[in-house]
Amino acid sequence: MRFGRRNYESRRRIRVWPLIVFGLFAVVYYNLNQETVPLTGRAQFVDVSMSQELALGISSYRQILRESDVLRNGSDVEFVKRVIDRLIPVVTERDFEWEVSVIRSEEANAFALPGGKIAVYTGILPIAKNEDGLATILGHEMAHAVARHGAERMTQNKLIQWGSLAASVSVGELEPQHQRLILAAIGAGTHFGMTLPFSRDHESEADYMGLIYMARACFNPEEAPKLWERMSSTGSRPPELLSTHPDPVSRSKRMKEWMKEALEVRSAHCE
């Protein structure tokens, strides 16, 4: 009886083989689903087809517009249209049917969905302040769509889910409380060590691409750091390490580091 108890306890341990199988699968799957981000040349992991991504973007966009107070005309709509009409011709990396809607809301926000569907909330217009500031915002959002950041996040989340399943199988013989502790630690490590930094990298990449786009369209890129300085004073934020977005002050600093290139692009396109 005592021997049986020891033999039973010896089997209650972490199984390594599910993690090994997942690791090998992840390496192969990652290498089979590689694309290149336009403009930056970064290799990205994407397993979502462009047609799937476009369909999801259009569906989400229509639902948002149905639930929002969309402005059809007026000074805010004209302001946004003037800026987007200059940006669209210079964003040549994707052949999207760009569409922009202005939504009446106090929320200081704007977003772009796959396929080039953009929404601008009126609450962000005072922060934009002028056409160059709004071009910074819209160029950034257009860059997210061009770089397929949404599809990349979906692919990453899928791999994380599969990894979580492998981890669950690996600890399946442990006591329930030990399973919960280990899986919670893995979840926290994935969130803070992978998901959040991944999102911040996307934001920085979109900042750079958007800066180049606004320069191509002959807006003044020197307004971009000023926009993020204004954004930094719009409310409290979590520390950068706990956020999906870089701190506005950090973004302003990076914009200044890229400014020489942006001004050269503007000079080449706008003489």
Task: State the DSSP code for 219.
Answer: -
What does the alpha-carbon distance between residue 70 and residue 253 come to, in Å, rounded to a whole number?
34
Q: Are 228 and 249 in contact (CB under 8 A)?
A: yes
Question: How far from chain centre, in Å, is Cα 178?
Answer: 34
At residue 100, φ and ψ (nearest 5 deg) are -125, 135
Please count the other Cβ atoms lying within 10 Å of the Cβ belonging to residue 118. Answer: 24
Q: How many angstroms separate the CA atoms of 143 and 210, rounded?
A: 6
Q: Is 131 noted as a catalytic residue in this protein?
A: no
Q: Pick the catalytic residue from 141, 152, 205, 223.
A: 141
CA distance 47 to 140: 23
Tokens matching residue 91: 């964003």
Where in the sequence numbering do the catalytic residues fall? 141
